[in-house]
Amino acid sequence: MRKVVSCLVACFCLTILTYGQDTDEQLVKQTVSYYLDGGTNNDFETLKKAFHPNASMKFIRGTEYQEVNALAFFKKGMKPGPKQDRETRIVSVNVTGNAASAKLEIEYATFMFIDYMNLLKIEGEWKVVSKIFYRKPKG
């Protein structure tokens, strides 16, 4: 009987600890939400929380491959102003150990960005280390 009670108490404590802590998936979603919210609100300081300082962004402009530092790109292009008229969505998150990926959609009136973010858990924090994207016309 003591073993059963001890086992139940251990299971109860484990359940409390598990539900009391954020899962890595939730933490990855929080990280990419900094990016989405910062972009929507033209708030570079919030957006910056999502990225490792050396994070890269790779994309095709016209027919040419481009590669830039993500934070430098956003800092240069982001101007304080009214909230962006767009809808954002976290489509999927995959986590394996200290590596993760997320697919995001950012929808504007005439086009949509589809972002693929790669993240690493660095010193206990999830950070975007690379981003690729596609700009998809609507219609």
| CATH classification at residue 108 | 3.10.450.50
CA distance 106 to 134: 11
Confidence of residue 139 (pLDDT cuts 50, 70, 90): confident
Question: Does residue 10 lie within any of the structural domains?
Answer: no
Question: Does residue 131 lie within any of the structural domains?
Answer: yes
Question: Does residue 65 lie within any of the structural domains?
Answer: yes
Question: Does residue 7 lie within any of the structural domains?
Answer: no
Please give the residue range of the domain that contains residue 55: 23-137
Instruction: Give the pairing type, strands 111-122 and 99-107.
Output: antiparallel
Q: Residue 80 has what pLDDT?
A: 85
| Res 83 pLDDT > 50 | yes
Question: Does residue 18 lie within any of the structural domains?
Answer: no
Order of strands, edge to edge, in the sheet holding 125-137? 64-69, 51-61, 125-137, 111-122, 99-107, 87-96
Q: Domains in the chain: how many in total?
A: 1
**Higher pLDDT among residues 120 and 2, named by residue:** 120
Question: Does residue 16 lie within any of the structural domains?
Answer: no
| Residue-wise pLDDT tens digits, 108-124 | 999 999 999 999 999 99
CA distance 116 to 106: 11
Overall pTM surpassing 0.85 (yes/no): no
CA distance 125 to 50: 10
Question: Does residue 1 lie within any of the structural domains?
Answer: no
Q: Which residues of 26-50 are buried (b: 16+ CB within 10 A; e: fewer)?
A: ebbbebbbbbbebbbbebbebbbbb
Question: Does residue 2 lie within any of the structural domains?
Answer: no
| Residue-wise pLDDT tens digits, 23-75 | 999 999 999 999 999 999 999 999 999 999 999 999 999 999 999 999 999 99
